[in-house]
Copies of this chain bind each other. A is one copy, B any other.
Amino acid sequence: MSSTSAAAPGRPRSERARLAILDAAADLLAEGGLACATIEAIAGRAGVSKVTIYRWWPSRGAVAVDAFFHRHEATIQFDDTGDIADDLVGQVEALIAAFRGGPGRIMAELIGAAQSDPSMGQAVRDRWVIPRRTATKAVIKRAVERGQLRADVDPDVVLDQIYGAVYFRVMIGHQALRKGLARELVSNLLDGVRA
């Protein structure tokens, strides 16, 4: 007697259309960035009417975010080897590797567009940032329990000082994501930069 067992009246949502929309949007995103992923282009390529898109997504940004994560979602993984530094470095290097390719550019455009579209911000947070931070934060907390990190440090701030720096470089473009950056970020923060 769960609420899901009660079949909704009327024609059910077309899974075919849903996937066609996400695929079309992801393709357009990959080909020409967010600017090419217009509602009309998505609808045209997916063989779907615009109304069908508007029925299920509030804005084109929301479709784009959904499409992007639908295609790139299976990649949270974290090896907790017990060495907090190595673990963090590995994680950051994976992020940097992803950001060097096309998806990095798209990700930056999505976060960029989210500045003017709250529904995109919500989607980015819920579907990308928060899941990753939650996983990493758990590792940090275990390191605290093991006595590797100070207990009075706010794990959120730690994450921001490592990952924020990467996103900052991507979005401002003042410095490249050069080789060795991941290790520098981690060791600077763990050991401090004071002489």
A residues with a Cβ closer than 8 A to B are 33-35, 108-109, 111-116, 121, 124-125, 129-130, 133, 144, 147-151, 153-154, 156-158, 160-169, 171-175, 181, 184-185, 188-195
Which residues does chain B contribute within 8 Å of A165, judged by CB atoms? Answer: 157, 160-161, 164-165, 168
Copies in the complex: 4
Task: Jot down 25 A-B pairs with beta carbons below 8 A, ordered by A.
Answer: A33-B116, A109-B116, A111-B112, A112-B113, A115-B171, A129-B174, A148-B194, A149-B194, A150-B195, A153-B193, A157-B181, A157-B185, A158-B188, A158-B193, A160-B164, A160-B175, A161-B185, A163-B168, A164-B164, A164-B168, A164-B169, A189-B193, A190-B192, A191-B194, A192-B192
Q: Contacts A112-B114, A190-B194: A168 and B160 contacting too (C-beta < 8 A)? A: yes
- B contact residues around A116 at 8 Å (CB): 33-35, 109, 112-113
The chain B residue sitting closest to A109, CB to CB, is: B115
A35 to B115, CA, bound (A): 11
Return the chain B residue nearest A194 by Cβ.
B190
**Which 3 pairs show the lowest CB-CB distances between chains A and B?**
A192-B192, A112-B115, A164-B168
CB distance from A150 to the nearest CB of B (A): 5
